[in-house]
Amino acid sequence: MGPEHEPGKMNETRSTAGVPARAAALRLLDAVLRRGLPLEGALDSAARGLDRADDRALAHAIAAEVLRRLTDLDALIDGATAKPLPPDAKARFALRIALAQALQLGTPPHAAIATVLPLVDGGPRRLVHGVFGALMRSGATLPALPALPPELAARWDAAWGDDVTQAAARAIVAPPPLDLTLRDPATTAAWAERLGGISLAPGHVRLPAGARVTELAGFAEGAWWVQDISASLPACLLGAGHGRSVLDLCAAPGGKTMQLAAAGWAVTALDLAEPRLKRMGENLKRTRLSVKLVTGDALTFAPAGPADAVLLDAPCSATGIFRRHPDVLQRVRPRAIAGLAERQQAMLARAAGWVKPGGTLLYAVCSLEQEEGERVADAFLASHAGFESRPVAADELPAGFVVDALGRVRVLPGTLEAEGGADGFFIARFAKR
Ligand SMILES: C[S@@+](CC[C@H](N)C(=O)[O-])C[C@H]1O[C@@H](n2cnc3c(N)ncnc32)[C@H](O)[C@@H]1O
């Protein structure tokens, strides 16, 4: 059979204008699933050659939807193939992309398949077309709630219970709202009204998903910045600065740095990553907040002297921010979590040496792994007799957030669910004796 008679060739030219965006989605998925890279970090390279912002956004949206639904998509594919396709097979990737579009993103099936067949040119086009067609004819659908990857579901079930894992599944399919942190908390009611949002805490405004950030009132003048409500808690727990010094380690892109500067702290902000610091410089310029920026490694950096407070918002698995970064659901493995927890302990040990007697050390991670949050905090206290816990009181937190029995903040899926949810987080506060 000549190619012109192959299945899927009919009407293909008409509907293949979007092939480069699908090819970019394939490269993105390959980067995340095969090479273990973060979705956002892989975007520039995967989307090279895509001139239009719309195509880039489409490639990202397709890849993100595949990552949210990977377990269910693979179950459909496996149920429709006589012999399972290998996990890394291009045909499997092409089918995931076509099915995510047809079943979740509203792409007409003929366009969904026509735009992925060129990705398997010279390969199993016929198989891809056949499996996709069979699934479409059988009226295949995806379940209302996504199945989590089995290893992750088992880990979260064991750590937090089935209710939390179920809440995570609901959160995966609920577009997260847009949270803003205000430079001046005294203006909360005014900004909530002006932007048409709600406020869940002083200095916080929540808008529905989908707002175009740079077009909102107050963006250009730097009246606020984007920050999930959970991520805004650590800086709030340090209180007003009154000119005292704070060392913000791992600071970029600067959400917490800006909160601290706005609350009257004299901030020294350190980060390892130049591009992230550059973004932070832009944020500080927009918000007209003054901070001393330092490029450096928290594991080797030595400040001029100790500080009244040290904030370690440590690099972590980021499993708490799966709503906006669904790649973490698929690529974070126990070995990586153990390595990150070890690095956090080393960073905390360094940070401990820079706190003035009587000062505060705050440790935070946007992780849902006990190994990173609770166990790191336990190990720190067990190995640093000069520090004690400075427990967080429930009334220091906005309604809906809770502290554990040891006065540490643990934000789990299900928190603020009726209001649009919150990212997973852990915060522990220590005092130097
Ligand atoms: C969780 S993010 C910080 C978010 C930031 N605190 C905020 O609120 O916007 C972790 C940061 O740690 C930085 N980082 C990772 N390893 C580091 C190290 N050894 N020293 C300093 N910064 C590091 C990363 O570049 C990243 O910007």
Q: What tens digit of pLDDT does each residue of 230-278 get?
A: 999 999 999 999 999 999 999 999 999 999 999 999 999 999 999 999 9
Q: pLDDT averaged over the chain?
A: 95
First to last CA, the chain: 81
Which atom of ligand 1 is least distant from the CA of 315?
Answer: 10
Q: Which of 40, 181, 271 for mutating ligand 1's site (highest number of atoms within 8 Å of CB)?
A: 271
Residue 14 predicted with pLDDT over 50: no
User: Tell me: the pLDDT tens digits for 349-369?
Assistant: 999 999 999 999 999 999 999
State residue 102's pLDDT score: 98
366 included as an active-site residue: yes
User: Which tokens in the block code for residue 303?
Assistant: 């400040």
Average pLDDT score over residue span 52-61 = 94
Average pLDDT score over residue span 328-343 = 97
Q: Where does residue 141 rank: exposed (0-12), middle (13-18), buried (19+ CB within 10 A)?
A: exposed
State residue 10's pLDDT score: 37
Q: pTM for this one?
A: 0.94
Q: How far is the CA of 153 from the centre of ligand 1 (A)?
A: 27
Residues contacting residue 1 through CB under 8 Å, at least 6 positions apart:
none
Which atom of ligand 1 is least distant from the CA of 343?
Answer: 19
Average pLDDT score over residue span 383-411 = 98
What percent of the chain clears pLDDT 70, i.e. is strictly above it?
96
Residue 9 predicted with pLDDT over 70: no
Query: Cβ of 230: how many Cβ atoms within 10 Å?
Result: 25
Q: By C-alpha distance, which of 235, 238, 275 is closest to 258?
A: 235
Q: How far is the CA of 253 from the centre of ligand 1 (A)?
A: 8
